[in-house]
Amino acid sequence: MPSKPYGMICALSKACEIIEPRWTLLILNEIWSGYTRFSDIRRAVGNISPGILSKRLTELEKAGLVERIEDRAKGTVDYIRTQMAIDLEPAMDALAIWAQRHIDAEVALSDSDIGSMMDYFARSVRTSHFPARRVVIRLNFADETGPYPTWWLVADPGTSPEICVEIPDVDVDLYIETSKISWNAIFYGRSTVAREIEAGRLFATGEVLLVRTMEKWLPRSSYADVDGIQMLPAAE
């Protein structure tokens, strides 16, 4: 936590000394979401380095917010929240709602790690709305400047969907061309599939059933239905 305290006798300043350092709340949020292993937390958080994540987890453990559980027999380490961290949930929830209502959509959606996006997509896509067979979706993000603008989702009945960046030897059922901002806008409730298609920011071609049911199978944030949410502007 901060090496130099604020020097104030104030409950808020003491709370900030513990939770203010960069990445702290995001790490707690991903543990809240169910990630307990170092590699999974790192992938879910996004652009955090292994060194910083290790440091923050150690700090959180010392502060009493995280418990480190080592299984020597299996050689695994899990991180779970303590009751102290669980008691932070209402404050974190309020911050997320505030952001949905008061931060401009383009600002809120502009920075996103595509790897984290796709990892969450594969974990949360609502496969119960897919046909009872293998479904393959190809997604291309026009605004991704990294090495992997194109991703494939492969979902077989009864198994967890897989996400990959190399061309799989399978037939594609649905092609989606969009941007990270447009994709995230749908997820966070700052737009809809129909609105993004109408605006020309999302193109979906392939099996009509999958296109028509996108709103049903695409995952959505638990904050997507916040009252007073700031929407992504319509096309000019």
Distance, CA of 213 to CA of 9 (rounded, Å): 55
* CATH no., domain 11-87: 1.10.10.10
Burial level of 182, CB count in 10 A (0-12/13-18/19+)?
buried
Q: Tell me the CA distances in angstroms from 16 to 11, 22, 139, one per residue in order.
A: 9, 11, 40
Domain-by-domain residue ranges, the chain? 11-87, 106-217
Give dist(CA 199, CA 224) in Å, integer.
Answer: 20
Give the CATH fold of the 106-217 domain.
Answer: Nonspecific Lipid-transfer Protein; Chain A (3.30.1050)
Task: Evaluate whether 125 touches 159 at the Cβ level (below 8 Å).
Answer: no
| pLDDT at position 139 | 98
pLDDT band at 73 (very low <50, low <70, confident <90, very high): very high
The per-residue pLDDT for range 14-55, each reduced to its tens digit, is 888 888 889 999 999 999 989 999 999 998 888 899 999 999
Report the percentage of the chain scoring pLDDT > 70. 95
For 2, 45, 130, the CA distances from 87, given in Å and listed in that order, are: 22, 21, 37
Q: What is the mean pLDDT of residues 195-208?
A: 96
pLDDT digits (tens, 9 = 90+) for 124-168: 999 999 999 999 999 999 999 999 999 999 999 999 999 999 887
Give the residue among 203, 125, 141, 134 at the shortest CA–CA distance from 170. 134
For residue 46, the model assigns a pLDDT of: 82
Distance CA 100, CA 94 (A): 10
Look at residue 234 in the predicted model and tell me its pLDDT. Answer: 82
